[in-house]
C-alpha cells in the first residue's frame, strides 16, 4: 500500500476517521464528558471494529439530534463528515499494520477538525480535502 488514495480508502483508516468524527459529535453535543468515547472504545475499535462501531454509530444519533436542534449547520457538517468517514464495511479484526492505519485515520481526522478554515474562495485541488468542522461552522 503506497498510494495515499489507497490508504485513505482502506477500511481501517476510515474506521479511525469515523471514531474521531463520533468523538467530535459527542464533544460538541455534551461538552467535556468525564470519559470520551475514545477513552472507552479506542482499544476495541482499533482491533475489532465490527464488534463496536454499530454501537458507536447508534450512540452518536441522539447527540446529532441535539445538535440539529441547537446548531443545525454544525449538525449537517458533522453528518456529512460521518458519511464521508464511513467505510464500506467494518472489518472483524485488524492486523498490526491495519491498526497503524486506524491510528493514522483517527489523528488525521482530529487534525482536520483543528485546522483553521481557508478564508479564500478558491476551490480545493484534487489532493486537498476541505476542512470539515470547527465549532464555528453553522
Q: Please tell me the predicted confidence (pLDDT) of residue 1.
A: 56
Q: What is the CA radius of gyration of the chain?
A: 15
Mean pLDDT, the chain cut into blocks of 10 residues (138 residues total) = 83 97 94 84 97 95 94 94 96 98 96 75 43 47
Question: Taking Cα atoms as reference points, which of 10, 93, 15, 16 lies closest to residue 48?
Answer: 93
Please report how the helices 37-47 and 11-30 are oriented relative to each other, as an axis angle in degrees rounded to 10.
170
First CA to last CA distance, the chain: 37
Phi and psi torsions of 61, nearest 5°: -60, -45
Q: Please tell me the predicted confidence (pLDDT) of residue 31.
A: 84
pTM for this predicted structure: 0.81
- Identify whether the C-beta of residue 71 lies closer than 8 Å to the C-beta of residue 63: no
Amino acid at each position: 500500500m503506497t498510494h495515499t488514495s489507497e490508504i485513505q480508502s482502506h477500511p481501517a483508516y476510515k474506521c479511525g476517521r469515523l471514531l474521531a468524527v463520533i468523538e467530535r459529535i459527542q464533544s460538541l453535543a455534551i461538552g467535556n464528558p468525564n470519559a470520551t468515547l475514545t477513552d472507552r472504545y479506542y482499544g476495541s475499535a482499533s482491533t475489532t471494529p465490527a464488534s463496536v462501531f454499530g454501537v458507536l454509530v447508534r450512540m452518536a444519533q441522539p447527540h446529532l439530534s441535539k445538535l440539529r436542534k441547537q446548531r443545525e449547520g454544525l449538525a449537517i457538517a458533522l453528518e456529512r463528515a460521518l458519511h464521508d468517514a464511513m467505510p464500506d464495511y467494518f472489518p472483524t479484526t485488524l492486523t498490526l499494520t491495519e491498526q497503524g492505519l486506524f491510528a493514522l485515520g483517527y489523528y488525521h481526522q482530529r487534525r482536520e477538525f483543528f485546522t483553521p478554515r481557508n478564508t479564500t474562495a478558491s476551490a480545493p485541488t484534487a489532493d486537498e480535502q476541505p476542512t470539515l468542522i470547527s465549532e464555528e461552522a453553522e
